[in-house]
């Protein structure tokens, strides 16, 4: 019985240790607690080039001088679908501003699914594909939706690592424009 008891205690210790590690690694997952990878670090936004639904190449450099909202998403992501009305409302508020641009960068999805989604949901902003996840890797994304707002100076002024509300987007926009 002593050997069995020793093995049971060892297994229990390993499980407790794994539980502690898991708790430590997920405790910062709350977007209201996690201040972000770029926030407050005065970091230039990573460059990206994507192919738009129209077949054109779009680089971040093409949008220099504008405040750019970059949203990583895909058509099957439940939080992305829940976030879509907020993105649409936010885009409708700002689309006519000459210093504003919004780009949805698709990760892990098919072109046909994206085209169907964009048509069905009447998405008006630029949608780009990220083959090889180069843009997603440059921004250090770990999932979707993730949103970054880049100021006219090319610096990351705001970021959200989960579904964003209109208020979240407005706050990040003001921060990126130096209005906070």
DSSP string, 124-147: -SEEEE-GGGHHHHHTT--SS-EE
**Per-residue b/e over 134-153, b at no fewer than 16 CB within 10 Å?**
ebbeebebeebbbbbbbbbe
d(CA 122, CA 31): 28
d(CA 126, CA 101): 8
Question: What's the confidence (pLDDT) of residue 23?
Answer: 39
Q: HSE, CB side, 13 Å, CA atoms: give it for residue 112.
A: 0
Q: Which neighbouring-strand residues pair with 69?
A: 102, 149
Residues with Cβ < 8 Å from 170, sequence gap 6 or more?
90
Question: Which percentage of the chain shows pLDDT scores above 90?
Answer: 71
Question: What's the confidence (pLDDT) of residue 12?
Answer: 55
Read off the pLDDT of residues 52-76 as tens digits, 9 standing for 90 and up: 999 999 999 999 999 999 999 999 9
Closest CA to 149 of 100, 78, 86: 100
């Amino acid at each position: 019985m002593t050997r069995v008891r020793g093995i049971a205690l060892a297994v229990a210790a390993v499980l407790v240790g794994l539980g502690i590690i898991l708790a430590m690694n997920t405790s910062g997952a709350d977007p209201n607690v996690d201040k972000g990878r770029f926030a407050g670090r005065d970091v230039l936004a990573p460059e990206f080039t994507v192919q738009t639904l129209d077949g054109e190449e779009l680089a971040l450099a093409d949008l220099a001088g504008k405040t750019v909202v970059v949203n990583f998403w895909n058509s099957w992501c439940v939080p992305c679908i829940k976030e879509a009305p907020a993105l649409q409302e936010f885009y409708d508020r700002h689309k006519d501003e000459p210093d504003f641009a919004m780009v949805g960068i698709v990760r892990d999805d098919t072109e046909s699914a994206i085209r169907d989604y964009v048509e069905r949901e009447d998405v008006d902003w630029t949608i780009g594909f990220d083959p090889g996840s180069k843009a997603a890797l440059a921004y250090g994304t770990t999932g979707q939706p993730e949103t970054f707002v880049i100021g006219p100076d090319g610096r990351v002024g705001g970021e959200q690592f989960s579904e964003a509300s209109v208020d979240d987007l407005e706050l990040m926009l003001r921060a990126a424009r130096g209005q906070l």
